[in-house]
Amino acid sequence: MILAAGQGKRMRSDLPKVVHPLAGRPLLAHVIETARSLAPAKLCVVVGHGAEAVRVRFPEASLEWAKQERQLGTGHAVLQALPHLDEGVVLVLYGDVPLIARDTLASLVDAAAKGSLALLTQHIADPKGYGRIVRDAAGKVARIVEEKDATDAERRITEVNTGILAAPRKLLAGWLSRLTNDNAQREYYLTDIVGLAVADGIAIEVRNPGAAHECLGVNSKSDLAALERLLQMNQSQRLLEAGVTLADPARIDVRGTLECGRDVSIDVNCIFEGRVVLGDGVTVGANCILKDVTVGNGTEVKPFSLIEEASIGANARIGPYARIRPGTELADEVHIGNFVEVKASTFGRGSKANHLAYIGDSTVGSAVNIGAGTITCNYDGANKHRTVIEDDVHIGSDVQLVAPVTVGKGATIGAGATIVKDVPPGGLTLTEKKQLSKPGWKRPTKKK
C-alpha cells in the first residue's frame, strides 16, 4: 500500500502534494513504478485531500484505491487500505518518498515473509522531526517514539524510523485493531505497532537503505527542488559512466528515459522528456528540448531547437531555432534550419528547408529544396488539407502552397508564387505580376 492522503500544507499549493512533478512525473508515479517492480498481487493507494485530483492522473485499472476521509494518523490510513489487500506480506510505502530503491524494499519483504515485522531505519546526524528507534538493553528494537512524545534522552537517539515497513497481513490487522490515539497529536500512529509486536513476541527485523537519499521525503517546495537536483545528478552520473559527453552534468534535465549510443555529446541546459533515443555520434546543442524523439546516427541538433514526438534519420541537421512538431518523420540527411517549423509531415532523404519556413501536413519527397519564407497553407479555417511535394522539386523563396495541392516530380516554382492548383512535373511554374514604378512618388508624412 502507498499512503498518499496528506494535504502537504507546506507546499503552499492547491495541488495535492503527491502529484507535484519530480523529473517530469508526479511524486506518486515514482513510488508506484518501484512498487510494481516487486510484482505485488495488489497495489492500493490511500488518498484523502484532493483525492480526485490524484486519481485522475492514474487511470490504470490495476490500482486499488482507498480513501481516508479524516486525517487521523498513519495507523488509521493503513487501516483504510487493508480490506483491499489479500493475505500475504503487506508493504507500506509513502507517496512523498519517491527515491526508495527496489532492492531495499525487497529485503524488507523477504524479512517479513518469515513472520517478522520488518522496519526500514537509518542513522542520521540531525534526527530532528523523526521518530526515534528505542532499543532495549540487549540492543533489540523495543518501540518507536515520535519526537513530540520523546524524552530529552530519546531525542538524542540518531537511529530514526523512515516509516516504511513490511509485515504479514494477519499480524498487521491485529495490531491495527489495538491502536489508540493516546499521544500528543491525538492520532493513531502506525509506529505503535512496534510495541505491540514486542509484546506479542514477534521478531522485529531491521533493514537499512542502500543509500541515504532513498528515504528523503518531500514536505516543501525546497525539499522538492533538492530532490530534483539529486535525481538529475544521479542520472547525469549514469550517462557519464555510459560514455556520454555532458558539457555540464549539473545543467541537464532528464524527465523520462534517455538512451544514448556511443560518442553522444550534449551541451548545457538541454531537457529530455518522455522516451528519447539518441544514436551513435549524435550531438545536441545548448538549450534544446526533445520529447519522445528518436534521432539517428550522426545527426546534429543545433542550439535552441524544440522537437516533439518525431523521428529523425541519420546524418540530419536540425536548427538552430527549429521546431519539429508531433507526427513528423525526417529521413537521412534532411536539413531543417533556422526558424523552420515542421508539423505532421514526412521528408525524404536529403531534402532541405533551411530558412524561415512552415511545412505542415505535407509529404515531401527526396532531394527537395524549399526556399526561405515558404509556407504550406494547410488549414481552411475548419479542416486540414495535405500538400504533396514529389522528388527533386525546387521551391523558391516566399512561396505559398495552398492545400490540397501536389507539386510534380522535378518541378521548379519561382519566388513569390501562390500555388492553388497542382503543378505538373518538370519545368518552371510562376505566378507572374507586373512590376510598376511611379517616378516622383513620395511617402506619406505623419500629421502633426
pLDDT, tens digit (0-9, with 9 covering 90-100), for 73-102:
999 999 999 999 999 999 999 999 999 999
Going by pLDDT thresholds of 50, 70 and 90, the confidence category of residue 3 is very high
pLDDT, tens digit (0-9, with 9 covering 90-100), for 370-413:
999 999 999 998 999 999 999 999 999 999 999 999 999 999 99
What pLDDT, on a 0 to 100 scale, did the predictor assign at position 57? 93
Per the structure block, which three cell numbers stand in for 14? Answer: 492547491
pLDDT at 198 over 90: yes
Catalytic option among 20, 213, 355, 394: 355
Least confident range from 140-154, 162-176, 283-297, 344-358: namely 140-154
Told to judge if 355 belongs to the known catalytic residues of this protein, a careful annotator would answer: yes
What pLDDT, on a 0 to 100 scale, did the predictor assign at position 445? 85
412, 397 contact by CB (below 8 A): no
Which part of the chain is CATH 3.90.550.10? 2-215
| Residue 7 Cα distances to 31, 69, 129, 191, 320, angstroms | 18, 12, 18, 20, 44
What pLDDT, on a 0 to 100 scale, did the predictor assign at position 25? 95
Q: 444 or 295, which is more confident?
A: 295
What pLDDT, on a 0 to 100 scale, did the predictor assign at position 185? 82
pLDDT at 166 over 80: yes
| Residue 260 Cα distances to 39, 120, 247, 257, 293, angstroms | 28, 35, 15, 10, 12
Residue 206 backbone phi and psi in degrees, to 5: -115, 135
What pLDDT, on a 0 to 100 scale, did the predictor assign at position 220? 94
State how far the Cα of 325 lies from the Cα of 327, in Å rounded to an integer: 7
What pLDDT, on a 0 to 100 scale, did the predictor assign at position 184? 77
Q: Per-residue pLDDT averaged across 265-273, rounded?
A: 98
- Which residues lie across from 266 on neighbouring strands? 246, 284
State how far the Cα of 376 lies from the Cα of 324, in Å rounded to an integer: 15
Nearest to 274 by CA among 288, 261, 255: 255
pLDDT, averaged across the chain: 95
Distance of CA 41 to the CA centre of its chain: 26
CATH topology for 2-215 is: Spore Coat Polysaccharide Biosynthesis Protein SpsA; Chain A (3.90.550)
CATH for 232-429 is: 2.160.10.10
CA angle 371, 372, 373 (to 5 degrees): 115
Going by pLDDT thresholds of 50, 70 and 90, the confidence category of residue 436 is confident
107, 207 contact by CB (below 8 A): yes
What pLDDT, on a 0 to 100 scale, did the predictor assign at position 129? 84
Which part of the chain is CATH 2.160.10.10? 232-429
What pLDDT, on a 0 to 100 scale, did the predictor assign at position 42? 95
What pLDDT, on a 0 to 100 scale, did the predictor assign at position 353? 98
- The set of long-range contacts for 239-247, using a CB threshold of 8 Å and a minimum separation of 24, is 239/266, 247/286
Residue type, 227: L
- pTM for the model stands at 0.88
Per the structure block, which three cell numbers stand in for 144? Answer: 518507536
